[in-house]
């Protein structure tokens, strides 16, 4: 299978992984944590009015496509994004770009990708991957969350690219038209870190940033007066959103910690190295939060759920993140 000279890398998250792979292939080597950090993608949002399977959306990173847009804005990269009115036009365009020797980012649905094990498939329509070549009717794909290059037949990839529903991809393809040869890291790192810290500390709405964490904690306390079955479903949903859907809350904190560590070395700023250590510890706290919930809702647990203890753990994490973002604003 041809792959246009592309070197596959395994990443933690699809969108940041795809942008890292594409830019590195184009001669601008950027690690996944650097892509994630410079795009200011780290966040928190609790959206009770947006439902997933009847439960509220809880997000630990910015909205899908924001990493692609954020990297462009931060670094001066220019990406061409194309969508299509019909699957046939989308397939023809992809094949044309591959024939020109390009590697191409694509938005797809996880559920219809044939190389995903059945137990990993779910209806998420904003999964990003890189199509790197085609031989006969088989595409060679660099999917960041897999260790090796994978493949898909033409009909399966077309179905995954043109699925209907929330965040329907509409065959979205994207590729760079301009990639800078050098970056003023000192400037862009400072700007992106301050943007992330301010958005977490000073969001004007109660559903986002640190306010969003306290808002969710308040709702967890209210579960005490709700039906036990619903309360357990709600708590289980928190774990799923944190640890199973995409990279998860702790996972994004670990990626950002790596960004801070890499940035500390790049611009010789020891304060960022210290912040990296703190962010790793906060990632561990998120994992402990999930574990606390898991123990509380497991079927063998006959004790009453201590909603207050779970909420207090989340509030403690929010306080630790507040201290970290305040220290990041003082790091420059």
Please tell me whether residues 131 and 22 are part of one structural domain. yes
Q: Which pLDDT band, with edges at 50, 70 and 90, does 82 fall under?
A: very high
Tell me the backbone φ, ψ of residue 102, rounded to 5 degrees: -85, 155
- Could you give the strand order of the β-sheet that contains 127-135, starting from the edge strand earlier in sequence? 78-82, 173-178, 104-108, 127-135, 138-142, 150-153
Start-to-end Cα distance in the chain:
48
* Cβ neighbour number for residue 200 with a 10 Å cutoff: 24
**The domain boundary residue, chosen from 161, 178, 195:** 178
What residues are paired with 52 via a beta bridge? 55
Of the chain, the percentage scoring pLDDT greater than 90 comes to: 79
Report yes or no on 59 lying in a domain. no
Report yes or no on 189 lying in a domain. yes
Q: How far is residue 74's CA from residue 161's CA, in Å, rounded to a whole number? A: 28
246-263 tens-digit pLDDT: 555 678 999 999 999 999
**The domain boundary residue, chosen from 178, 210, 232:** 178
Please tell me whether residues 173 and 189 are part of one structural domain. no
Please tell me whether residues 314 and 172 are part of one structural domain. no
Report yes or no on 318 lying in a domain. yes
pLDDT at 302: 78
Please tell me whether residues 152 and 202 are part of one structural domain. no
Please tell me whether residues 212 and 160 are part of one structural domain. no
Mean pLDDT of the chain: 92
Report yes or no on 174 lying in a domain. yes
Q: Are 247 and 12 in contact (CB under 8 A)?
A: yes
pLDDT at 86: 96
> Diameter of the chain by CA atoms?
63
DSSP code per residue over 104-116: EEEEE-GGG-TTS
- Is pLDDT of 273 > 60? yes
**The domain boundary residue, chosen from 133, 158, 178:** 178
Q: Are strands 173-178 and 104-108 parallel, antiparallel or unpaired?
A: antiparallel
Please tell me whether residues 159 and 242 are part of one structural domain. no
The more confidently predicted of residues 174 and 118 is 174
Q: Which pLDDT band, with edges at 50, 70 and 90, does 219 fall under?
A: very high
Q: Which pLDDT band, with edges at 50, 70 and 90, does 61 fall under?
A: confident
- Is pLDDT of 292 > 50? yes
The percent of the chain in helix, strand and coil, each rounded to the nearest 5, is 55, 15, 30
Please tell me whether residues 152 and 207 are part of one structural domain. no
Please tell me whether residues 303 and 263 are part of one structural domain. yes
Q: Which pLDDT band, with edges at 50, 70 and 90, does 3 fall under?
A: low
Please tell me whether residues 174 and 295 are part of one structural domain. no
CATH number at residue 135: 3.90.70.10
- Give residue 103's domain range: 14-30+78-178
Please tell me whether residues 21 and 155 are part of one structural domain. yes
pLDDT at 249: 67
7-30 tens-digit pLDDT: 999 998 899 999 999 999 999 999
What mean pLDDT is predicted for residues 291-312? 91
Report yes or no on 4 lying in a domain. no
Please tell me whether residues 256 and 165 are part of one structural domain. no
29-46 tens-digit pLDDT: 999 999 999 999 999 999
Query: Token digits for 308?
Result: 């207050």
Report yes or no on 7 lying in a domain. no
Q: Are 237 and 297 in contact (CB under 8 A)?
A: no
pLDDT at 118: 84
Q: How far is residue 44's CA from residue 60's CA, in Å, rounded to a whole number? A: 4
Report yes or no on 100 lying in a domain. yes
Please tell me whether residues 282 and 196 are part of one structural domain. yes
Report yes or no on 49 lying in a domain. no
Q: Could you tell me which of 19, 41, 37, 38 has the C-alpha nearest to residue 28?
A: 19
pLDDT at 245: 57
| HSE-up (13 A, CA, CB side) for residue 302 | 0
Q: How far is residue 245's CA from residue 248's CA, in Å, rounded to a whole number? A: 6
What residues are paired with 151 via a beta bridge? 140
Q: Which pLDDT band, with edges at 50, 70 and 90, does 1 fall under?
A: very low
- Rg, Å, the chain Cα set: 21
Number of domains in the chain: 2
312-321-284-253 Cα dihedral, nearest 10 degrees: 130
């Amino acid at each position: 299978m041809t792959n246009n000279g592309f070197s596959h890398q395994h990443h933690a998250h699809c969108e940041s992984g795809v942008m890292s792979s594409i830019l590195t292939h184009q001669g601008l080597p950027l690690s996944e944590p650097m892509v994630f950090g410079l795009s200011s993608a780290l966040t928190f949002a609790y959206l009770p009015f947006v439902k997933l399977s009847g439960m509220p959306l809880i997000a630990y990173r910015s909205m899908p496509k924001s990493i692609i847009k954020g990297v462009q804005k931060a670094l001066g990269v220019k990406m061409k994004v194309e969508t299509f009115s019909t699957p046939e036009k989308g397939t023809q365009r992809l094949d044309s770009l591959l024939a020109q020797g390009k590697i191409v980012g694509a938005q797809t649905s996880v559920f219809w990708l044939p190389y995903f094990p059945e137990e990993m498939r779910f209806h998420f329509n904003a999964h990003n991957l890189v199509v790197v070549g085609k031989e006969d009717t088989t595409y060679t794909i660099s999917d960041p969350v897999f260790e090796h290059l994978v493949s898909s037949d033409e009909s399966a990839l077309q179905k995954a690219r043109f699925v209907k529903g929330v965040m329907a991809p509409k065959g979205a393809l994207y590729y760079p038209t301009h990639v800078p040869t050098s970056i003023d890291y000192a400037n862009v790192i400072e700007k992106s870190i301050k943007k992330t810290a301010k958005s977490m500390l000073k969001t004007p709405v109660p559903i986002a940033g640190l306010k969003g964490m306290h808002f969710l904690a308040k709702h967890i306390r209210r579960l005490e007066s709700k039906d036990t079955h619903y309360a357990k479903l709600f708590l289980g949903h928190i774990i799923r959103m944190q640890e199973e859907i995409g990279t998860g809350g702790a996972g994004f904190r670990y990626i950002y910690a790596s960004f801070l560590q890499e940035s500390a070395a790049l611009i010789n700023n020891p304060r960022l190295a210290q912040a990296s250590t703190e962010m790793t510890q906060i990632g561990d706290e998120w994992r402990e939060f999930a574990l606390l919930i898991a123990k509380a809702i497991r079927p063998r647990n006959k004790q009453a759920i201590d909603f207050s203890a779970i909420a207090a753990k989340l509030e403690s994490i929010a306080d630790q993140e507040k201290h970290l973002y305040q220290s990041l604003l003082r790091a420059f």
